Amino acid sequence: MSGSRYSLVRRILFPLGLAFFVVFSLAPFAWMVLSSFMFKAQLLTDPFALPPHFTLDNYVRLFTSPNDGVGAANFIHAVINSLGICAITTVISLIIGSIGGYAFARLRFPGKNALLLVLLAIQFLPAVTVIIPMFMMGRAVHLLDTWWILIFAYTSFALPLTLWIMRGYFESIPRSLENAARVDGCSRFGAFLRVVLPLSAPGFAATAIFTFLNAWDEFFFALIFTNTYAAKTLPVALSEFTGRHTVDFGLLMSGGVVANVLPVVIALSVQRYIVRGLTAGGVKG
Amino acid sequence: MASVTLKNVTKRFGKVTAVNSANLEIRDGEFIILLGPSGCGKSTMLYSIAGLEDITEGEIYIGERLMNRVPPKARNIAMVFQDYALYPHMNVYDNMAFGLKLRKASRQEIERRVHEAAALLGIGHLLQRRPRELSGGQRQRVALGRAIVREPDVFLMDEPLSNLDAILRVQMRAEISKLHQRLQTTFIYVTHDQVEAMTMGDRIVVLKDGVIQQVGTPQEVYAHPANVFVAGFIGTPSMTFMTGMLTPHGSTLAFDTGTFRVPLPRASAEAAGRYADRAVIAGVRPSAIQVLPSGGADGVKPPETCIVAAKVDVVEPMGDVAYIFADVGGQSFTVRVDPTALPGVGQVVPLCLDGAALHLFDAETQQAIAIPMRQPAATISSP
């Protein structure tokens, strides 16, 4: 009895539930991909039908036609800006976050817990409360409309969480492993590099994805702090395909696909690090 | 190989003193045990010798060299941890070779030493495995192997057997002893298990609350405990302690609890002379108390004076030996008895307390004042 009920749940309800969630989350995505290959005329008349003719026109326009009215050729600049800003943000956050997280995990110093809570509290500040002061500061040091103002902003948002995640990860690595490495011939920093860091790869991967994607998706600060393609990022560039009077759905959809390629590739390529429990078996447990 | 010397070593964590001005000389090649209950400072002492903890005061020498400012990696020590601490991202070979690689040993040298150690420990077939693919006992061997290949001056072991099951523990205990005999290197071994301490150590250091209580061979510590704590900690089941007075008894002294009196042999009485008419603590091992046949004396009749009547509360047969917990006027005694002739619970049995087997301690300082004249009987049947 219980066996057949179990197999009913397993064979019918589980797949049905899964199918629902897959459709729910992937259908808009699939529609975006399909639409990006449609001609403008069809997009406006029957956007939900499978297109009779596929075209790469939207992608060609996205990267070539400079006189399309919205300055689509600048799109490539937005891609480069986004890549650069997000990559640098991620690297800085990981370096500072891992060293700081290690200090919080392993060292004894006064005010440690209070400091950790303050870091978390910063995370609760709404962005609007800091955007004006940050804008003023950015203007004072002439960093507006550059990569750096966004890198600073994104790093400062990412760091508290990076610190917390890495601290948690380091705490899960037994101290005895570091002690063993130090007795075996490492300095404290050497033990960190040779033993703690390799074991923290899943933590790094998770934190990196998190930081990178947060920065990649960020729109509000990018909109306020940039006004030329010297620093405009993808979300801002995409928003510009929506004009006051017209919306270029073709460019919007193909731009959306381009903006999504990298996150998808990253998530697929590093997910095994997140899933794999690297520390299993090193110590009794 | 090297001696290890601790001079007035103190380690404080904030307000907590983990090790309190410890003085200890460990001889070259000695197998020394740091023994005590959890929180007694034994692991802190080991970590201080390793350099993994900085000491607050005092000096630590390995050989002739002052180690206070020397980082762990430069002390030429190897350590085996309670949780094995194998590097999970390396296979067994790399785990064992790690320390040698850091010391820039040649490839051939590393290979030779790793294979030698692996052969010695019977883990040669496991070299390509990851730690998570090994059983507890195998991991323990790898951890030992990682220490051996380093050919260190001193081996430090932090409760290395406490995570193994009982059978494996006994087996590994013997192997570590053999290893020591073979390597003839200084071993410093931390444990809270007195069986490990008694069976493996050349000398035992008993610790409590960060203070060294006694240093001696297993037999010394067992037969001549320096104070009440050591007397109670060494030996299973524990000694029975009684408080009483030393009162004059003919030409000698007797230990008097108010309920019963036990006369002391002349030598003990002389040693304890200045305690006459003062409160003392007496301890007696379960094996040093005799249960007399209740039916009456047959054979050697013990002196009338030593007999007390005790009511049996609990009987614990252990196979080749049994223990009873018996009550004499509110004082509970642990007594080793012959498992083939167990008394029943509630039964009143006559016990013979031999004054010569009593360990006497100062009631205030808890320090030993008189040493028992004879070793506890090996078996209960020999009078």
* Per-residue pLDDT at A248: 82
Q: Mean of the pLDDT values across residues B11-17? A: 92
* Per-residue pLDDT at A200: 86
Phi, psi of B160 (to 5 degrees): -70, -20
Task: Please judge whether A280 and B132 are an interchain contact, meaning their C-beta atoms are less than 8 angstroms apart.
Answer: yes
Interface check for A180 against chain B (CB to CB < 8 A): the answer is yes
Are B241 and B220 part of one and the same domain?
Answer: no
Write the CATH number for B325.
Answer: 2.40.50.140
Which residues of A are less than 8 Å from B47 in CB distance? 179
* Per-residue pLDDT at B119: 92
Range of the domain at B59: 4-232
Which tens digit of pLDDT belongs to each residue from B270-279?
888 888 888 9
CA distance A196 to chain B (A): 10
Residue extents of the structural domains in chain A = 74-275
* Per-residue pLDDT at A129: 86
* Per-residue pLDDT at B257: 86
Chain B residue with the nearest C-alpha to that of A178 = B85
Q: Mean of the pLDDT values across residues B292-301? A: 56
Work out the pLDDT band at B370, boundaries 50, 70, 90: low
Going residue by residue through chain A, which has 285 residues, state the pLDDT in tens, using 9 for 90 and above: 455 667 777 788 888 999 999 999 888 888 888 888 888 777 777 777 777 778 888 888 888 765 455 455 678 888 999 999 999 999 999 999 999 999 999 888 888 889 988 988 888 888 788 889 999 999 999 999 999 999 999 999 899 888 988 888 888 889 999 999 999 999 988 999 999 988 888 888 888 888 998 899 999 999 999 888 888 898 998 888 887 777 888 888 888 998 999 888 887 887 766 655 444 444 444
* Per-residue pLDDT at B297: 47
Are B54 and B144 part of one and the same domain?
Answer: yes
Which of B73, B78, B79 is the closest to A187 by Cβ?
B73
Are B160 and B309 part of one and the same domain?
Answer: no
* Per-residue pLDDT at B70: 95
In the predicted structure, residue B230 carries a pLDDT above the cut 90: yes
CA distance A199 to chain B (A): 7
Q: Mean of the pLDDT values across residues B280-304? A: 73
Are B284 and B349 part of one and the same domain?
Answer: yes
* Per-residue pLDDT at B150: 92
**Residue ranges of chain B whose CB lies within 8 Å of a chain A CB:** 47, 50-52, 71-73, 77-79, 81-89, 98-99, 102-103, 130-134, 136, 139, 146, 150, 156, 163
- Domain membership of residue B307 (yes or no) is yes
* Per-residue pLDDT at A205: 83
- Domain membership of residue B383 (yes or no) is no
* Per-residue pLDDT at A177: 94
Which residues of B are less than 8 Å from A185 in CB distance? 73, 98-99, 102-103
- Domain membership of residue B379 (yes or no) is no
- Domain membership of residue B376 (yes or no) is no
Test the A interface: residue of B43, B44, B46, B52 with most A CBs within 10 Å: B52
* Per-residue pLDDT at B123: 93
Are B275 and B167 part of one and the same domain?
Answer: no
Which residues of B are less than 8 Å from A284 in CB distance? 82-84, 136, 139, 163
Q: Which residues pair with B12 in a beta bridge?
A: B17
Are B262 and B290 part of one and the same domain?
Answer: yes
* Per-residue pLDDT at B286: 93
* Per-residue pLDDT at B312: 92
Test the A interface: residue of B43, B46, B86, B157 with most A CBs within 10 Å: B86
Highest-confidence segment of A238-242, B137-141, B340-344: B137-141
Write the CATH number for B130.
Answer: 3.40.50.300
A 10 A CB-CB count for B20 gives: 17
* Per-residue pLDDT at B362: 92
* Per-residue pLDDT at A75: 84
Interface check for A182 against chain B (CB to CB < 8 A): the answer is yes
* Per-residue pLDDT at B149: 94
* Per-residue pLDDT at B304: 60
Task: Please judge whether A184 and B150 are an interchain contact, meaning their C-beta atoms are less than 8 angstroms apart.
Answer: yes
Task: Please judge whether B84 and A278 are an interchain contact, meaning their C-beta atoms are less than 8 angstroms apart.
Answer: no
Q: What is the rounded distance in angstroms from the CA atom of residue B17 to the CA atom of residue B237?
A: 30
Chain A residue with the nearest C-alpha to that of B133 = A281
Are B207 and B265 part of one and the same domain?
Answer: no
- Domain membership of residue B45 (yes or no) is yes
Lowest-confidence region among A88-92, B75-79, B318-322: B318-322
* Sheet of strand B65-66: strand arrangement: B16-26, B4-13, B57-62, B65-66
Phi, psi of B223 (to 5 degrees): -85, -30
Domain boundary among B180, B203, B232: B232
Are B69 and B12 part of one and the same domain?
Answer: yes
Chain A residue with the nearest C-alpha to that of B155 = A183
* Per-residue pLDDT at A63: 80
Write the CB contacts of A239 (distance below 8 Å, at least 6 apart in sequence).
A219, A223
Are B253 and B227 part of one and the same domain?
Answer: no
* Per-residue pLDDT at A284: 43
Task: Please judge whether B52 and A179 are an interchain contact, meaning their C-beta atoms are less than 8 angstroms apart.
Answer: yes
Q: What is the rounded distance in angstroms from the CA atom of residue B60 to the CA atom of residue B58?
A: 7
The helix (H) or strand (E) run that includes residue B281 is strand B279-284
Q: Mean of the pLDDT values across residues B40-56? A: 95
Which residues of A are less than 8 Å from B146 in CB distance? 180, 184
Are B222 and B262 part of one and the same domain?
Answer: no
Domain boundary among B177, B205, B232: B232
Interface check for A191 against chain B (CB to CB < 8 A): the answer is no
Task: Please judge whether A284 and B83 are an interchain contact, meaning their C-beta atoms are less than 8 angstroms apart.
Answer: yes
Interface check for A282 against chain B (CB to CB < 8 A): the answer is yes
Which of A184, A187, A279 is the closest to B88 by Cβ?
A279
Q: Mean of the pLDDT values across residues B45-74? A: 94
CB burial of B142-168 (b: ≥16 within 10 Å; e: otherwise) equals bbbbbbbbbebbbbbbbbbbebbeeee
Chain A residue with the nearest C-alpha to that of B143 = A180
Task: Please judge whether A281 and B130 are an interchain contact, meaning their C-beta atoms are less than 8 angstroms apart.
Answer: yes
* Per-residue pLDDT at A229: 84
Q: Is A64 in contact with A254 (CB distance < 8 Å)?
A: no
Q: Which residue has the higher pLDDT, A44 or B342?
A: B342
Which residues of A are less than 8 Å from B156 in CB distance? 183
Task: Please tell me the CATH code under which domain A74-275 is placed.
Answer: 1.10.3720.10
- Cβ-Cβ contacts under 8 Å between A and B: the total is 92
A 10 A CB-CB count for B299 gives: 6
Test the A interface: residue of B69, B89, B141 with most A CBs within 10 Å: B89
Which tens digit of pLDDT belongs to each residue from B196-224?
999 999 999 999 999 999 999 999 999 99
Q: Angle A231-A233-A239 (CA atoms, 0-180°, nearest 5)?
A: 125
Q: What is the rounded distance in angstroms from the CA atom of residue A211 to the CA atom of residue B131?
A: 32
Which residues of A are less than 8 Å from B88 in CB distance? 177, 199, 278-283
Are B278 and B160 part of one and the same domain?
Answer: no
Chain A residue with the nearest C-alpha to that of B88 = A282
* Per-residue pLDDT at B372: 56
Q: Mean of the pLDDT values across residues B59-73? A: 94
- Domain membership of residue B77 (yes or no) is yes
The CA–CA distances, whole Å, from A69 to A37, A241, B88, B133, B225 equal: 21, 10, 58, 63, 96
The CA–CA distances, whole Å, from B226 to B266, B335, B367 equal: 21, 22, 6
- Mean pLDDT score across all residues of chain B: 89
Domains of chain B: total: 2
Which of B72, B86, B150 is the closest to A182 by Cβ?
B72
Which tens digit of pLDDT belongs to each residue from B162-203?
888 888 899 899 999 999 999 999 999 999 999 999 999 999
Test the A interface: residue of B47, B84, B91 with most A CBs within 10 Å: B84
Q: What is the rounded distance in angstroms from the CA atom of residue B234 to the CA atom of residue B193?
A: 10
Domain boundary among B232, B249, B280: B232
Task: Please judge whether A183 and B163 are an interchain contact, meaning their C-beta atoms are less than 8 angstroms apart.
Answer: no
In the predicted structure, residue B381 carries a pLDDT above the cut 80: no
CA A15 from chain centre, in angstroms, equals 29
- Domain membership of residue B56 (yes or no) is yes
Test the A interface: residue of B11, B48, B49, B87 with most A CBs within 10 Å: B87
Work out the pLDDT band at B269, boundaries 50, 70, 90: confident
Q: What is the rounded distance in angstroms from the CA atom of residue A104 to the CA atom of residue A108?
A: 8
Are B158 and B22 part of one and the same domain?
Answer: yes
